[in-house]
């Protein structure tokens, strides 16, 4: 029997992951537009991000629990169509929900977040199940495509809104709603590999020490996800409203550069990186400095650079924690990956929402108004800076977790390797 050709299947996975980036970065790009058109507050906009990742979190846990009872192959094939449906609801808001725009945003967010959660659970195992001479390269390429997808979405969106104005935002969303259909068609016309959903976490069950390491890794990915997603979701609004940078310039030079640095850093580490624990500590500390700079410094250029450089420091905080877990816990299974995904999604839910709440609270307070008067800033600018400053606590706590892991468990793998060499 001839071996199936999975080349188209692999390309379909890459296409699905690439187009999935619109789910995460397109709504934040339109936050200011939604504010102006529908009068939606920063807190409610942050709630959309919370809904997004909480929905993903629910899907991650549900699918992990019932993976054996679900036909994963057909879900992978139809998953991009769910993305299109969710974005389609966004595009139809002016027609279907003219007086209840926020309700439409919530419905659309829930729908495409289900697809995003499924992609997080299924695309990586699909790629891993495809025979390959270099599986690590394939997996690295898959995860790097998210960042390059963000760059594509930001660039196209900025040019579109510059030419056709923000009044036509629904047409832009409709355009991106069509792209995932390409991935679905490719999946429907491609063979699907067999995926193993029965792997267990025998190591974790046997060792309380490994369970403690897993808990620390979940905490690490939580704080790292907070650091990455707070900036990626709010950088567009921050540059426009806090730094008073033209939206087109802020999105293309700012948000798009953030995404490029995120992607290139991941690629460079996959080729040249060593000692992921040290790299994670470097990233956590660097992200902390960036958030403190953005929150405390008034110079526009310095804040702009700090926003962009956050992409470098946060690039490996999510995937790097997975690598660290694999190093510290041999033969880790599906359940641990599901818990790690849950920790990351929880961080991506909480941090952007907290940033929005702090921004609204400070901007509407007498404290924010007084600080603004003394610094020649608006209350809104003070609120956004306060939100960024608050977010610095997450990578700072993440750095502490990494230090604990380094001190408590860094010697274990080394001694095991030494023992192995001596035995040989």
Residue appearing with tokens 């991935």: 183
Amino acid 418: pLDDT: 40
Nearest to 197, CA basis, from 70, 344, 345? 70
For the stretch 408-423, pLDDT in tens is 775 444 444 444 334 4
| pLDDT band (50, 70, 90) for residue 397 | very high
Nearest to 348, CA basis, from 226, 220, 232? 226
Q: What's the half-sphere exposure (Cβ side, CA atoms, 13 Å) at 83?
A: 32
For the stretch 10-62, pLDDT in tens is 999 999 999 998 888 888 889 889 988 899 988 898 888 889 888 988 887 88
Q: Is 364 exposed, middle or buried (0-12, 13-18, 19+ CB in 10 A)?
A: middle
Of 59-68, 247-256, 366-375, which range is least confident?
Answer: 59-68
> Model-level pTM?
0.77
Amino acid 381: pLDDT: 95
- Answer yes or no: is pLDDT of 78 > 80: yes
Q: Is 134 exposed, middle or buried (0-12, 13-18, 19+ CB in 10 A)?
A: exposed
Decide: 230 and 351 in contact? Cβ < 8 Å: yes
Dump the DSSP string for 166-224.
GGGHHHHHHHHHHHHHHHHHHHHTS-----------HHHHH-HHHHHHHHHHHHHHHHH
| 8-state DSSP, 168 | G
Amino acid 196: pLDDT: 52
Nearest to 277, CA basis, from 325, 329, 311? 325
The 3-class SS string of 8-34 reads HHHHHHHHHHHHHHHHHHHHHHCHHHH
* Span between the terminal Cα atoms of the chain, in Å: 41
Angle between helices 393-409 and 317-328 (to 10 degrees): 20
- Answer yes or no: is pLDDT of 157 > 60: yes
Amino acid 186: pLDDT: 94
Amino acid 415: pLDDT: 40
Output 64 or 182, whichever has higher pLDDT. 182
Over the Cα atoms of the chain, what is R_g? 22
Amino acid 142: pLDDT: 80
Residue appearing with tokens 């709630």: 47
Amino acid 198: pLDDT: 44
For each of the domains in the chain, give its residue range(s) and CATH number, in order of start.
Answer: 7-195 (1.20.1250.20), 199-411 (1.20.1250.20)
Interatomic CA distance for residues 81 and 398, integer angstroms: 36
| 8-state DSSP, 316 | T
Dump the DSSP string for 54-101.
HHHHHHHHHHHHSGGGS-HHHHHHHHHHHHHHHHHHHHTHHHH-SS-H
For the chain, what is the mean pLDDT?
Answer: 85
For the stretch 341-379, pLDDT in tens is 888 888 988 998 899 899 999 999 999 999 999 999 999
For the stretch 306-326, pLDDT in tens is 999 999 999 999 888 888 887
Q: Which helix (H) or strand (E) holds 360?
A: helix 334-363
Amino acid 421: pLDDT: 36
Interatomic CA distance for residues 102 and 100, integer angstroms: 6
Amino acid 305: pLDDT: 95
Nearest to 222, CA basis, from 402, 25, 65? 402
Nearest to 284, CA basis, from 220, 209, 194, 354? 220
Amino acid 61: pLDDT: 80
Mean pLDDT of all residues in 64-73: 69
Amino acid 273: pLDDT: 73
- Answer yes or no: is pLDDT of 109 > 80: yes
- The two structure tokens encoding residue 413: 């793998």
Interatomic CA distance for residues 356 and 362, integer angstroms: 10
Nearest to 129, CA basis, from 70, 79, 76, 179? 76
Percentage of the chain exceeding pLDDT 70: 88
| 8-state DSSP, 163 | H
| pLDDT band (50, 70, 90) for residue 2 | low
Amino acid 345: pLDDT: 84
| pLDDT band (50, 70, 90) for residue 126 | confident
Amino acid 226: pLDDT: 96
Question: How many C-beta neighbours within 10 Å does residue 167 have?
Answer: 12
Amino acid 248: pLDDT: 80
Chain CA centroid to CA 265, Å: 15
Interatomic CA distance for residues 334 and 331, integer angstroms: 10
Q: Is 109 exposed, middle or buried (0-12, 13-18, 19+ CB in 10 A)?
A: buried
Amino acid 292: pLDDT: 98
Q: Is 272 exposed, middle or buried (0-12, 13-18, 19+ CB in 10 A)?
A: exposed
| 8-state DSSP, 244 | -
For the stretch 188-241, pLDDT in tens is 999 988 765 444 444 445 467 778 888 999 999 999 999 999 998 888 889 989
- Answer yes or no: is pLDDT of 328 > 50: yes
Decide: 122 and 79 in contact? Cβ < 8 Å: yes
């Amino acid at each position: 029997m001839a071996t199936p050709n999975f080349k188209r299947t692999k390309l379909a996975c890459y296409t699905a992951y690439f187009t999935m980036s619109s789910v995460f970065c397109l709504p934040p790009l339109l936050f200011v537009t939604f504010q102006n058109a529908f009068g939606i507050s920063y807190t409610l906009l942050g709630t959309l991000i919370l809904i997004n990742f909480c929905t993903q979190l629910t899907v991650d846990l549900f699918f992990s629990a019932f993976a054996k009872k679900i036909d994963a192959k057909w879900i992978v094939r139809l998953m991009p169509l769910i993305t299109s449906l969710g974005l389609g609801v966004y595009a139809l808001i002016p027609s279907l929900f003219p007086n209840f725009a926020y309700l439409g945003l919530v419905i659309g967010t829930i729908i495409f977040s289900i697809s995003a959660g499924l992609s997080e659970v299924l695309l990586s195992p699909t790629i891993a199940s495809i025979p390959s001479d270099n599986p690590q390269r394939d997996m690295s390429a898959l995860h790097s495509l998210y960042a390059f997808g963000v760059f594509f979405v930001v660039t196209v969106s900025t040019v579109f809104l510059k030419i056709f104005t923000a009044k036509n935002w629904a047409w832009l969303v409709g355009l991106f709603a069509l792209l995932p259909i390409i991935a679905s068609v490719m999946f429907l016309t491609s063979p699907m590999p067999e995926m193993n959903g029965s792997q267990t976490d025998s190591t974790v069950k046997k060792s309380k020490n490994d369970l403690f390491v897993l808990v620390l890794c979940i905490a690490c990915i939580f704080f790292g996800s907070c650091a990455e997603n707070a900036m990626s979701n709010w950088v567009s609004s921050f540059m426009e409203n806090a730094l008073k940078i033209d939206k087109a310039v802020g999105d293309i030079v700012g948000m798009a550069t953030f995404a490029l640095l995120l992607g290139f850093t991941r690629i460079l580490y996959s080729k040249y990186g060593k000692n992921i624990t040290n790299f994670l500590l470097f990233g956590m500390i660097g992200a902390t400095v960036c958030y403190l700079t953005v929150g405390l410094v008034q110079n526009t250029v310095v804040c702009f650079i700090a926003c962009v450089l956050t992409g470098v420091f946060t690039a490996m905080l999510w995937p790097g924690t997975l690598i660290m877990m694999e190093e510290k816990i041999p033969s880790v299974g599906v359940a641990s990956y599901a818990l790690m995904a849950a920790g990351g999604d929880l961080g991506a839910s909480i941090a952007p929402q907290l940033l929005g709440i702090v921004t609204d609270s400070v901007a509407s307070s007498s404290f924010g108004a007084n600080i603004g008067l003394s610094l020649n800033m608006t209350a809104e600018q003070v609120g956004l800076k306060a939100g960024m400053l608050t977010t610095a606590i997450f990578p700072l706590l993440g750095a502490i977790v990494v230090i604990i892991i380094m001190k408590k468990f860094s010697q274990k793998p080394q001694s095991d390797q030494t023992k192995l060499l001596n035995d040989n």
